[in-house]
Amino acid sequence: MSLTDSAIRNAKPGPKVIRMKDDRGLHLEISPKGGKYWRLRYWISGRERLISLGTYPEVSLRQARDRREDARRLIAEGIDPLLAREAEKTEARKNADTFETIAREWHARQAATWVTGHAEKIIRRFEMYVFPWIGAMPVHEIKAPDLLGCLRRVEAKGAVETAHRALQTCGQVFRYAIATGRADRDPSADIRGALTPAKEEHRAAILDPVGAGGLMRAIDSYTGHVVTRCALKLAAMTFVRPGELRHAEWAEIDFDNAEWRIPGPKMKMKEQHVVPLSRQAIAILRELLPLTGAGRYVFPSMRTSTRPMSEVTILAALRRLDYAKDEMTGHGFRVMASTLLNEAGWPPDVIERQLAHAERNKVRAAYNRASLLPERRKLMQAWADYLDALRDGDVNATCAPEK
């Protein structure tokens, strides 16, 4: 006897599962907790199978019968409805796994261990150069020509180095997709050598004392925003990475001990870095304190105090001072300090540690961290005094370590 809507509505649960039969294999199961589930029992290739057709009342009696008929049509063609449903789910899951979805998932995991500025740069590169072209494609369907076509657009803009960096990060996303079972291979491996070779670029920097003195005089005469002028001065005196300077926070500055302690997550090598502050650096920070000390960042954005200074601010200031891009860059302050300090005879270990370069030997690295801070204090004060002397035109100035 076929089921009716009223019989289904009035059916009450019992201590065990109750099965109310309809026609042609369709029945309703009522659990002891009151749940009502549509089931279809069928046979294919001599095997009995059971498939769920939904729950009542979300799926009405009429809808359940329609689903039964759809399943029986598949059976008549020799297709197992249960296997067909699994295939549809798999295909839907694959279609949902687009490159952009997986790239953002990969980025979110990696960003937890990256410096904030680096994480922002990676996702911005994806958004500008990759997602508009292959972001909506299922990751398992992307072939080498698709990826190459995307990166060739970047090349056409003259951004060859950016194209190579995008290829590298795309490869990491594809390998993540393989590891998580959503792709079979990495097409980025197939286009190595297909992009225009990137030219090795040396970061522009002033490498002679006379030029360094001219730079310091130019910074002193900078007529732009006072915060930017202070940032230029500290970039020269501390020679930290541009991103580390931009993201400096007042909470990291220890005036009593004349130290700037940069937390590990902000550093390229993920280790806390101590920057001893010279008397001149402390004076600059005290000049800034009334201007930006109420906020989080030492060098906040000009638009909002909740964000750090833009990454282009230092570069724009150098251009305003008439230093071309092949003469001086934000990173050039590091190169300048490294070159002149090495020429002055400072121990390479001390210089490299102050530059926060990684030491491959773990025992030596631990020794450097523990023992070189006093030497680094001397170096930083000698460097600040040297920059002042060069600024003042002292051609006989030196920053050689004391014997």
Cα 339 to the center of its chain, rounded Å: 31
CA nearest neighbour of 314 among 211, 225, 228, 218:
228
Structure letter (DSSP) for residue 19: E
99-191, superfamily in CATH?
Tyrosine recombinase, N-terminal domain (1.10.150.130)
Residue ranges of domains in the chain: 5-90, 99-191, 209-391
Q: Which fold has domain 209-391?
A: hpI Integrase; Chain A (1.10.443)
Three-class secondary structure of residue 80 per DSSP: coil
- Number of Cβ atoms within 10 Å of the Cβ of 363: 8
CA nearest neighbour of 128 among 149, 156, 109, 153:
153
Cβ density class 297-325: b for 16+ within 10 Å, e for less: bbbbeeeeeeebbeeebbbebbeebebee
Question: 5-90 sits in which CATH class?
Answer: alpha beta
Check residue 271 and give its pLDDT.
84
Q: Name the residues annotated as catalytic.
A: 241, 268, 331, 334, 357, 367
Amino acid, res. 297: Y
CA nearest neighbour of 174 among 140, 148, 146:
140
Q: Rounding to the nearest 10 degrees, give the CA dihedral for residues 56, 57, 59, 63.
A: 110
Query: Crossing angle, helix 226-238 and helix 209-220, to 10 degrees?
Result: 160
Check residue 368 and give its pLDDT.
47
Residue carrying structure tokens 């286009």? 191
Would you give per-residue pLDDT tens digits along the chain (403 residues)?
A: 688 989 999 999 999 999 999 989 999 999 999 999 999 999 988 889 999 999 999 999 999 999 999 999 999 888 998 888 888 776 666 567 899 999 999 999 988 776 666 778 889 889 989 999 999 899 988 999 999 999 999 888 878 888 888 999 999 999 999 999 989 999 999 998 898 887 655 568 998 898 899 999 999 999 889 999 999 999 999 999 999 999 999 999 999 999 999 998 888 777 889 999 999 999 999 999 999 999 999 999 988 888 999 989 999 999 988 888 888 999 999 999 999 999 999 999 999 999 988 654 454 445 445 558 999 999 999 999 999 999 999 978 999 998 7
